[in-house]
Amino acid sequence: MTAAFYHVGLIVENLQEAMDELSQSVGLHWEEPHDSQYGSSRIRVTMSIEGPPFIELIQGEPGGLWDTSQGSRMDHIGYWAEDLEGEKQRLSAAGMVLDFDSADYGFGTRGSVFSYHRSPKTGLRIELIGLARVAAMFARRGLPSPAEASTSNATPKTTS
């Protein structure tokens, strides 16, 4: 089973203001933001150029899957996985409830599926992303495929 941490996801109320703040304070640079929609939930997303680990900013809407009604906050940590279904089952067996599955919205070809699982102890979500999707992002940045990198600390650990 291979999975590895590669990003932190933040929910923000104003994407441009968050990008500006993190650019000025810690020198991050950003991909061009893009819009996505999952059912009735619309989001605007960008990812830092610097990384891994990358910083992902998501501007959601109040009441949506990436709810902003509670203000800006840390939302999730992202892992890529070679065996997405196996990792989903492993997290579920560890007590992490499936919170969102992109397959439910018609995504799912060539490893582009992703899912969120909520930790009952921290409230943090873990996002699992198919290796093909992450490898394409790494390639755009001129980085080697994450599968080629060392995975000595790759598998998210769970304790009882």
- Catalogue all structural domains in the chain, each as residue range(s) with its CATH number: 3-147 (3.10.180.10)
> For residue 156, is pLDDT > 90?
no
For the chain, strand residue ranges (E) read 3-12, 34-38, 41-47, 54-59, 73-81, 97-101, 114-118, 125-130
Instruction: Using alpha carbons, list the distances in angstroms from residue 154 to 13, 61, 157.
Output: 31, 32, 9
pTM of the complete model: 0.83
Q: What is the pLDDT of residues 139-151, one digit of tens each?
A: 877 777 777 754 4
- Structure tokens given for 51: 């990384």
Q: What is the pLDDT of residues 51-109, one digit of tens each?
A: 889 999 999 999 888 999 889 999 999 998 888 888 989 999 999 999 888 887 776 65
Q: State how beta strands 41-47 and 114-118 pair.
A: unpaired
Report the alpha-carbon angle 55-101-95, nearest 5: 90
